Amino acid sequence: MLFTSFEFLGFILILFLAYYLIPKKYQWMLLLAASYFFYFMAGAYCLIYILVTTVTVYLLGRRIEDLRKEQSDYLKEHREKLGKEEKKAYKDGMKRRQWRTLLVGLFVNLGILAVVKYTNFAIYNVNLALHGFGSGKQFDFLDIALPMGISFYTFQALGYLIDVYRGTSKAERNPFRFALFVSFFPQLVQGPISRFQDLSGTLYREHSFDAKTVSFGLQRILWGFFKKLVIADRILVGVNEIVKNPESYGGAYVFAGMMFYALELYADFTGGIDITIGVAQVFGITVTENFNRPYFSRSIKEYWRRWHITMGTWFTDYIFYPISVCKPMLKFSKFSREHFGEAIGKRMPVYLSSFAVWFATGIWHGASWNFVVWGLGNWIVIMISQEFAPLYLKFHRKVNGMINRQRAGISDRMFVLENNSFYRLFQILRTIFLMSCLRSFDCYRDVPLTFRMFGSMFTGGNWHILWDGSLLGLGLDITDYVILAAGCGLLVLVSLIQRTGSVREKIAAKPYPVRFILWYGLFLIVLLMGAYGIGYDASQFIYNQF
């Protein structure tokens, strides 16, 4: 069921009525049944995968906690009999048993993800290598259906298992409650990747109908519909026309396509997350925010702290930190300090751990080389920025000093380049452009083609198409561009207002006529200006493929 389909709206309406009519102690059970029905509608075969993940992670999480309790009970019972070395040996042995249990969970569930998502990618590379060595042998690709949201629920479940192993989260004893955590339907499509200790706080709680909470949830859903239907699905027509016809659209068209895709991806992904958070809020459940005005970032590093936040924190907590402080990495760092100097030695753990994170981020987004190159491209830019940080600081100090000397005696106010509005705008536009360049690998899905099309921007010589009406030949007419421009203006306005607090809270404080006009007006905009009808296709959310 598409979030923007009538079937989904009908599903939510029926579930909403039942949720607040049944006894509250059964509410979470109803959500579990609804989640499995939602997943069943995506394909009955999908249930097998999510059940295997749920059962294995639940049992292994229980096993890890039972081992921890067994250790605690044993040490209490024998605390006066055991010496210091005996206690240490016993603890080390129990830790190894917990570690082996964790490895089983990682192996099984990452193995499932690897098989269904990366088998054909592996076959492609094997065939490529065989061809390169002159062999005529080629392996056939397998017809493996990718279950909906498998990357999201797998990472969410494994994050829980790792937290149980680390002792930062207690294992859930009720298997059905845990099944709801893994399968909670609003976040199956595109996340966010919730942590158990965060989501469980409201997921299993009994909820009474609260008009403000439900109203805020519906408002968030409406805002998501606006982003998806009015902006993302409309500009998708132009993106597809440019990307699917590279022989016809080179040069400045590539730049236009990059900018179009930046808007489409933002409106599509954040719109889907808005619907997810809004649906959860309608049922009184709090889901982690996944975006924080990312297009206001001044650097790519800052951008990734604001974009798909739960994914970034997952990779940081479960890949970056474990790799950077593991014993082999510490030994390698020591070796590097001794042989290559202090400066290089202290950087190696950061470089290698970041490389692992960005390689994993790329391959997580898709089983193809374009995503790997995209991920490593982010890594390169971020590492270069870190290395040049002292030069940036020196440049800023020099500019600040020069301008302040020139202004001496005119104003007592010190000039700081970083606080200058025009410089901040330059940094924001630079970040958007750099991210759009990197995303061109996502657009064209072919590494050599991407480089060729990117290079054509500097050799095409057709920049006049940006203002001579040529963009009207992309399947979008002047009305579409006016709607998109107005939509972008509204997105920017809302983002600016968000800097000082919740927009919904600010609107709620207004008189009823103002609230009615704003929300009913947005409803009419979605209804009248959404991308429907001939020439448009209600597309699946981009991140559903992951």
Residue 365 falls in the annotated catalytic set = yes
Cβ contacts of residue 221 below 8 Å, gap of 6+?
Answer: 274, 275, 278, 279, 282
Cβ contacts of residue 272 below 8 Å, gap of 6+?
Answer: 3, 189, 190, 224, 228, 541, 543
Contact present, 296 and 495 (Cβ < 8 Å): yes
Q: Return the DSSP state at 307.
A: S
Phi, psi of 448, rounded to the nearest 5 degrees: -60, -40
State how far the alpha carbon of 205 is from the alpha carbons of 27, 28, 286, in Å: 8, 8, 11
Give, in degrees to the nearest 5, the angle at Cα 533 between 531 and 534: 115
Residue 448 preceded by cis peptide, ω within 30: no
- C-alpha torsion 124→125→130→136, nearest 10: 10
> Tokens standing for 224?
């998501």
Alpha carbons 122 and 114: distance in angstroms, whole number: 10
Query: Active-site residue among 131, 308, 365, 464?
Result: 365
Nearest to 216 by CA among 495, 424, 515: 515
- b/e sequence 440-473, b meaning 16+ C-beta within 10 Å: bbbbbeebebbeebbebbeebebeebeeeeebee
Chain CA centroid to CA 491, Å? 19
> Tokens standing for 537?
């296709």
Cβ contacts of residue 266 below 8 Å, gap of 6+?
Answer: 294, 295, 491
Number of H helices, E strands in the chain: 22, 0
> Tokens standing for 410?
């005119």
> Tokens standing for 281?
């809020």
- C-alpha torsion 490→495→496→500, nearest 10: 130
Nearest to 289 by CA among 300, 305, 301, 265: 305
Alpha carbons 530 and 536: distance in angstroms, whole number: 10
User: Which residues are catalytic, by number?
Assistant: 365
